[in-house]
Structure 1
Amino acid sequence: MLACVAAGGCVGERSDDRFRETGQIIAMSGGDGGVAAACVTCHGLHGEGDGALSPRLAGLDVGYLQRQLDDYVNGRRDHVPMRTVARKLSLDDRGKVSAYYAGLPAPPPIARPTDAEGNRLYAACVNCHGSRGEGRGPANPPLSAQPAAYVEAQLAAWREGRRYNDPLGEMRHVSRRFSPEQARAVSVHAVALPGPHPR
């Protein structure tokens, strides 16, 4: 009898370990938060985003993804649904799910940049986000293939002081250069850029 109880305890432990082995399982299941907290609910089965206010995660820098989740947990980035989800993930699980999404291929942009005004305004973004919208490291995410509405909403959040988790405070400064109409134009242009050169 004692052997059965001991064996049962081991089986349960192994099952839990398998559940946490990959970021994909956490992304699909929601980890300890349950299926309602699953990343795929808002960010899509392939991390492509919802085309509106939930960004694509696929192909983003692992350090950037990890920092955003950590910032939701510690309050440096405010979004109630994401804060709730992130706080249900351990530091280790946040790292695993970040690595999973970073390893996925980025989707192609859905449009081509055509707006001359957006192109002119994007000059303020090139140093950090790249001429192709490819991003540069963990502090400067790609803008290519993100939902335009999401990028526009983030510019508004920085401009209004509701988002302030960029390392040097540069986004708050840059976002205040744009009127709401200009923020929309630069967002539409940025997300249509081709992204990184093919490898």
Structure 2
Amino acid sequence: MIAALAACDREAARTDAMLSIDGRTIAMSGGAGGASKACFSCHGLDGMGDGVSVPRLAGLDAGYLQKQMEDYASGIRPDKVMGPVAKPLDDRARRAVAAYYASLPVAAGPVSSVPPPVLWTQGDPERGLAPCAACHGAQAQGVGAGQPALAGQPAAYTRDQLDRWKRATRRNDPRGVMTTIAGKLTEDEAAALAAWSERQPASPAPASGAASASAVEAAAAGSAASREGRRRDR
């Protein structure tokens, strides 16, 4: 049994390696979408983005990246740039691109001495806001496919995504958790959270399905409790 499991692990590793190689070809060429859709032209050869409005992909969870590609292609996550990039790619190509960027090394910066906002560590129970750290990690390193790393992401990008969640123009989050949270944040709170997470050193996100699921459940429970409290007040 142990030998069989070891053989499965080796085969999975070989598959991931082959996908990564194929993904690099697609990232550099645009794959079925053509050269004008090449990923590196926006996200850089190292996958670290432009540091302004284009996010880093390097080291992010492969499952998260694959889901975003699928959502761009289907229109669940509408985007005038990424939609045309993702649509021409088939399922295997999207998986390959995700595996490639997940495999890239991350250029980590210095550890920030700036303390996190209270909302990051404690949330706001009165407003039904769970701590950001419950889903995205204490240092914004992410937790599995459901909760991506925010560390090292440009503040302008994170701020824009929060605004999209708030306006419900982005709505591909598990159980609507981010739509609910973003809708309760003030402009200053959103800006502070984005600025702090940008300062955290980028690092590969630890994949943990169990932790990911429990974090979403905790956030959803907080939102439900808030709604129940408001009903009682009325």
Q: TM-score, normalised by structure 1?
A: 0.83
Q: Report the residue type matching 1:87 in the other structure.
A: K
- 1:162 pairs, out of 149, 164, 169, with 169
Q: State the shift of 1:193 in Å.
A: 2.0
How far the C-alpha of 1:195 sits from its partner, in A, is: 4.8
Aligned partner of 1:14 in structure 2 is none
Q: Could you list the per-position Cα deviations for residues 102-130 of structure 1 after superposition, in whole angstroms to 9, with x for gaps in the alignment?
A: 0012232477252x5x5223222100000
Deviations 1:163-191 (A, max 9, x none): 11011211111112211121111101012
- Match in the other structure for 1:122: 120
Give the direction of change, closer, same or farther, for the CA distance of 1:61–1:197 in structure 2 (3 Å limit): closer
Higher helix fraction (1 or 2):
2
What is the identity, as a one-letter code, of the residue corresponding to 1:169?
G
**Which whole-Å CA distance do the structure 2 matches of 1:33 and 1:180 have between them?**
37
1:84 and 1:130 map into 2 onto residues whose CA distance is 32
Which runs of no fewer than 5 residues in structure 1 stay unpaired?
Answer: 1-19
- Looking at structure 2, the residues matched to 166 and 35 of structure 1 have their Cα atoms a distance apart, in angstroms, of 30
Matched letter for residue 76 of structure 1 = I
Partner of 1:190: 197
| 1:182–1:140 CA distance, 2 compared to 1 (3 A) | same
Distance 1:197 1:101 in 2: 11
Q: For the Cα contact (< 8 Å) 1:132–1:195, is it kept in 2?
A: no
Using the size of structure 2 for normalisation, the TM-score is: 0.71
Identity %: 41
Answer whether contact 1:77 1:165 (CA < 8 A) is retained. yes
1:80 aligned to 2:80?
yes
CA gap 1:110/1:39 in 2 versus in 1, 3 angstroms:
farther
Report the counterpart of residue 17 of structure 1 in structure 2: none
Does the C-alpha gap of structure 1 residues 113 and 35 become closer, same or farther in structure 2, counting only changes over 3 Å?
Answer: farther
CA contact (8 A) 1:133 1:142 kept: yes
SS in 1 for 2:58: coil
Could you tell me which residue of structure 1 aligns to residue 143 of structure 2? 136
Between the aligned partners of 2:173 and 2:149, the Cα distance in structure 1 is 14
> Letter of the aligned partner of 2:84 in structure 1?
T
* Cα distance change on mapping 1:173 and 1:196 into 2, 3 Å: same
2:194 is aligned with what amino acid? Answer: S
How many pairs does the alignment contain? 179
Change (3 A) 1:155 1:109: farther
Deviations 1:38-57 (A, max 9, x none): 00011111100111221100
Does 2:187 align with 1:180?
A: yes
